[in-house]
Every structure is written in structure tokens, then in C-alpha cells.
Amino acid sequence: MLILTADQVRQVLDGAEQQVVEAVSRAYRLHAAGRTVLPHSLFLRFPGRARDRIIALPAYLGDAGGPGAREPVAGVKWISSFPGNLDAGLERASAAILLNSMRTGHPEVLLEGSVISARRTAASAALAAATLAPRQPQTGVTLIGCGVINFEVLAFLRALLPELAEVTLFDLDPARARAFAERCADRLPGLKTATAERIGDALAAHPLVSLATTASTPHLDPSPCPPGTLLLHLSLRDLTPETILSSVNIVDDADHVCRESTSLHLAEERAGHRDFIADSIGALLTGGRCERDPEALTVFSPFGLGVLDLAVADLVRHRARERGLGTDVPDFLAPGAR
């Protein structure tokens, strides 16, 4: 068993945005081609604690065949979300990822998963922004929710959108927005950063918006958004069913995203169908770059497929072994299993 800590995962992934995006793009395309197995995520919830949950995401990622194909990989991510941690100075999310041998089924690699989870989420958001590109260069972005996910989104957007020069921030906690702006100045020099006191002002600032909140019910009025805005709806529960039904909707997987009281699930219950979903990101990537509607609101709602975690975890595994990182535990399994 190879064990990789959060610091070791960061060592491997820091500066590797392009490689992470490539891994995520490959996973989306394999999923669109039917070369994955992706059971529904299992949500573990607790009595009287509506905001807390732990989710299991099992998955199998196949290969594309042909020269340079990677070995198939199977595994599971076990990720918790306890928003109350923020008040105690702790991270909201924590996770572990386990990869299994496709020859024996034995567990082979245990990785700290929150870093991988955040960066695969950010990579999918940036990939959608680059794929659903407007006619004009994207020079600014609004971030609603100033936490770990949106900071990673910003880093990946800068890697994929070289013209990006401005960011507008909004958070219900102004202190978090100010701290986020300070981190931007330290880690992302040259980026013009502004904070908005009202969410409507933030939405009006740029036609590219990333939503990464802890909302459990719809709360957002997107009417201040400029025409042609792309909403990266990462937290999945910010938008009303009416907004979803009147928008151009791109998802990662309709069966996965239309459940667990997401905004799209509520829209499906309201409409009685899923015809409001225009396409999947995997299909768009297979077909190439797609220019978004210059007048309509486009919403990208990724459920967060377990195959993305596997793709990035497999990348980390190989890069870590090349660098001699991690702790090998040769006697992890029972003697008869080795």
C-alpha cells in the first residue's frame, strides 16, 4: 500500500494545472464514450444535521485503446462536508481516495483526497469555461463564495484563460472575502481584485461567474447577470427551478445531477422531464469548442463524477512514484492476501 499525504499530493499537483485539466478532459470523454462504470454516489446524512454529510463515490475509469492508452483504474472517494468546521477554523471538506488493483482487486494506494477533489472540481469548471467560450476574450470572473474551491477555480481559470485579468469577490462573510483578496494578491500577482458588498453587484460585474457556496436550498436571483453569462454552478443548489428551466443547461451526467435535491432535480420535479438539459460536457469535448449563446444564461452544473477523482488520483500516483514520494506499507494486507 502506498500512502500519500495532503502535502505530498500538493507537491505533485502544484504547477500541474494543464496536466490535471488533461486528465479531467480525458475522463469526461471516456465517460461520454461509455468506457466508465459510475454507480450513484451514496450520501450518508445524520438526524438533525441537514448541512452535514459524508459521500462515497465509487467508480471505474476504462481506457481509450490505441497507442499511449493508460491502464484502467478503479477506486472510491470518501468525502465529508461539515460546513460548521469553518467557524472552528477547520476546512469544510476532508476526503480519502482508495485505488484498487484491476488485476487482484487489492487496495494499492491511499491518498488524501480533499486536494484532489478541489482541483478536479476547479479543472472541470475551467474546462467548461474554455469549452463554452464567448466570442470575446474572457477578461474577468466573479466568484460567489470565498473558500477553497473558488480559489482553485481561479487558479485553473488563469491557466486556461490567459486574458483573465480581473476578479470580483462576494461572500456572506466580508472578512472571508477580504482574506481571499489578500491571498489573491500574494499568490496570483497581477490580478486586479475587487470585493462587492452586494451579491447583485458581483453578478453584474462579469459574464463569467463561479458559484461555490454551502447553500442547501435555492437563494440566487441571477437577473443582474449580463447577457450571455456562464454560471459555473459548482455547489448545485443555488439556483431556483425557474432559473434552470429558462437557461441553457450543460451537465456532466444527467442521471447523477438530477438527484439529492439539486437545483436540476427540483427543476425536473417541476417540469416532469429533463428536456431543459441541452448537453453534457463530455459530448461537447468530444465535438470540440462550443460558442455559448450571447443572449441566454448558460449554466454548467457538474455533479462531480467519481471518475474525475480517479483520473487525478492516478496522475498523482504515477508522478509521486517517479519522485519517490509517499510511504510504502508492504504488510498492510493480511498475509494470505499478499
**pTM, entire model:** 0.92
Torsion-angle region of residue 324: left (phi > 0), alpha (psi -120 to 50) or beta? left
Helices (H) and strands (E) in the chain, counts: 11, 16
Q: Alpha-carbon distance 227 to 232, whole Å? A: 15
- 10 CB-contact burial (10 Å; exposed 0-12 / middle 13-18 / buried 19+): middle
Closest CA relative to residue 42, chosen from 237, 278, 306, 275: 306
pLDDT in tens, the chain (338 residues): 999 999 999 999 999 999 999 999 999 999 999 999 999 989 999 999 988 999 999 999 998 655 455 789 999 999 999 988 988 888 888 999 999 999 999 999 999 999 999 999 999 999 999 999 998 899 999 999 999 999 999 999 999 999 999 999 999 999 999 999 999 999 888 899 999 999 999 999 999 999 999 898 999 999 999 999 999 999 999 999 999 999 999 999 999 999 989 999 999 999 999 999 999 999 999 986 678 899 999 999 999 999 999 999 999 999 999 999 999 999 898 876 55
Q: Which residues, listed in sequence order, are joined to residue 243 by a DSSP beta bridge?
A: none
